Amino acid sequence: MRINQTALSAVAVALVYMATPAIAQTVAAPVVSADVDQNAAIMAFFEEYDAQQLARSPLSKSYRGIKDSDYGKWDDGSDAAEARNYDAERSALKEMKARFDPAKLSSENQLSYRLFEKRAARSEGAYKYNDYGYVFDQMNGAQSQIPAFLINIHRIDNKSDARAYVNRLYGIGPAMTEAVGQAKTRAAKGIMPPKWVYPYVIADSRNVITGAPFSDGRDAPLYEDFKSKVAKLAISQTEKDLLIADAAQALNASVKPAYEALIAEMTAQEKVAGTDDGIWRFPDGAGYYAERLANYTTTNMTPDQIHELGLAQVARIHKEMQAVQKKMGVKGDLQAFFNYMRTEPKFYAPETEEGRALYLSETQKAQDAVTPLLPQWFGTLPKAPLVVKPVEAFREKSAGKAFYQRPAPDGSRPGTYYANLYKMADMPLTEVEALFYHEGVPGHHLQLAIQTELKDVPAFRKFGGVTAYSEGWGLYSEKLAKDMGLYTDPARDFGRLQLELHRAIRLVVDSGLHHKRWTREQAIKYVEDNSADATGGIVKAIERYIIYPGQATAYMVGRLKISELRDKAQKALGKKFEVRGFHDTILKSGPVPLDVLEEQVDSWIASRK
């Protein structure tokens, strides 16, 4: 099962925005005559487009907090459904162009028109390589996305919601069967992840079906989640017991055999999987990588240009780190400084429950420090609250170090920052502030909550994403916090630079792996030689870039563009420059490609002059 990407965008903001729409048919609406207000008509067109997309995606409804007759269902993840959805989007694009004249639209609707066009163009490029993505890997796939969805998104506010949860448990069997079938088909074509991926998938799968009601021991993750949610309902104990018994039956009858079949297939594939890592090994791998770079960065940069940009940024950040080294009084060359920062015990929380609590406490301090400063830097602030949680145990071994999940638009779910506390040696305390400022505020929570709360813009702008924009903003936010007077400890400022270096290195190793045919070991060695990343964190990061070709390059490309635009605005406006207005200009359009972002800022500069 491949969970619909529109739905997925709420879960993995630090990771991927494919933005492949899922609408049922050509948008049906009467032809607009010349005397009809085209602005009202195009808003209705986009509203109908969204309604049809939601009709095809029960998961998207759940992410938005919508409960209806689809609340117990999964999306259709079949290849045939994806083909229908793709054809429907092409028809909708054709209809929009035939019906609406951009010259007759307001500036906001002109922007929506252009963004819909650009979104469709990226979708068209991606669809050409639709079979090249991995169905299961250590960061994606039904084995982890299904339980994460049920635990984090499926609310149980009443008995009906609990029944819908049980229905979804029964639906896991068919959904997983579909996904396993796709994985088999792709494997037959040579589209398989490298051999080292499979133990992660198998381990995560076993975690889901370990424990009660499958065997003795503590409750398995989904059983524990269901029982916890049902326990809070205002119904009799007898009704609760019946619901829990039904869930146990569904888990044993549907979930267990589905996961056992997945484990069997992954075990079989692991035996024949190759050890090459880059997508250069695929038929037209070069074309696929070029498409991925264009999709994620929204530029026409070549792999070689990406690589050279990375090398230049690594050199620039190394110089800034040497200045911090001098402040800290650490002797030796930069390599000696890296080794000191990587191995000094005081920079790590202990590998205990107390250590994990310490990390969360330090995160809370970062939130407390930045929150009162926000009104000085932003004219618009989100209404949705932000909570901090550790990554759930069943997926923490394979998940990334930190990520964010946006709030529900109806206020029923807060924005959530997840910190991965599986191994404290991979989460240095020097980075705790910068990670929070990226994923929380002023980073993704501020950006995505504002986006979700936008008024009078189409849903595809409120709930979609552009990676270079979103992750560029997250990385920009890490530096913005320094402008705000934070990182008073030089070691924490080093942590900020280390995370920025981490993103510069991505440009080098991503293009190295997928274009220059580097091995996983070569990429790991480059990071070890050029940063203070913890060894375990390095391995996880490289493994992420291998299964997400191109995605990691968008962070630095987007960040450099936002910083460039701020410098441009300050130079053009002088004393008239107002940082709150600049940030509102960036955020209140929602996610846009970088060329459109520059046009938005240019218009703001002109209006201020």
Three-state secondary-structure class, residue 444: helix
Q: Which strands sit side by side in the sheet containing 415-419, from one edge to the other?
A: 386-390, 415-419, 402-405
Res 16 pLDDT > 90? no
DSSP category for residue 574: G
Question: Cα–Cα distance between 5 and 467 in angstroms, integer?
Answer: 13
Predicted pLDDT at 11: 33
Question: Cα–Cα distance between 362 and 437 in angstroms, integer?
Answer: 12
Query: What value does the mean pLDDT take over residues 392-402?
Result: 85
pLDDT in tens, 139-154: 889 999 999 999 999 9
Res 13 pLDDT > 80? no
Element (H, E) at 417: strand 415-419
Strand partners, 403: 418
By C-alpha distance, which of 149, 18, 134 is closest to 75? 149
Determine if residue 76 is left, alpha or beta; phi over 0 gives left, psi from -120 to 50 gives alpha, anything else beta: beta
Predicted pLDDT at 537: 86
Give the list of residues 6+ apart from residue 514 with CB closer than 8 angstroms, or none: 278, 279, 280, 285, 289, 292, 303, 549, 550
Query: What value does the mean pLDDT take over residues 274-296?
Result: 97
Predicted pLDDT at 491: 98
Predicted pLDDT at 362: 98
The answer to whether 439 and 473 have CB atoms below 8 angstroms apart is no
Res 7 pLDDT > 70? no
Residue 527 CB neighbours (<10 A)? 22
Where does the pLDDT of residue 19 fall: very low under 50, low under 70, confident under 90, or very high at 90 and above? very low
Place of tokens 């190394």: 318
Least confident of 35-44, 232-241, 567-576: 35-44
Residue type for position 7: A
* Virtual torsion, Cα 214, 220, 223, 225, nearest 10 deg: 180
Res 260 pLDDT > 90? yes
Question: Cα–Cα distance between 602 and 568 in angstroms, integer?
Answer: 9
Question: Cα–Cα distance between 416 and 576 in angstroms, integer?
Answer: 36
Query: What value does the mean pLDDT take over residues 399-418?
Result: 91
Res 390 pLDDT > 70? yes
Where does the pLDDT of residue 394 fall: very low under 50, low under 70, confident under 90, or very high at 90 and above? confident
Whether the bond into 442 is cis, omega within 30 of 0: yes
Res 6 pLDDT > 90? no
pLDDT in tens, 563-598: 999 999 999 999 999 999 999 999 999 999 999 999
Least confident of 183-187, 487-491, 530-534, 590-594: 530-534
pLDDT in tens, 47-86: 999 999 999 999 999 999 999 999 999 999 999 999 999 9
Three-state secondary-structure class, residue 419: strand
Exposed e or buried b for every residue in 442-481, given b needs 16+ CB within 10 A? bbbbbbbbbbbbbeebbbbbbbbbbbbbbbbbbbbbbbbb
Predicted pLDDT at 73: 98
> Mean pLDDT over all residues of the chain?
93
Place of tokens 């939130």: 367
Sequence ranges of the domains in the chain? 288-560
Query: What value does the mean pLDDT take over residues 246-273?
Result: 98
How long a stretch of residues is the chain? 609
Predicted pLDDT at 36: 53
Strand-pair category, 415-419 with 402-405: antiparallel
Res 241 pLDDT > 50? yes
Q: 225 or 5, which is more confident?
A: 225
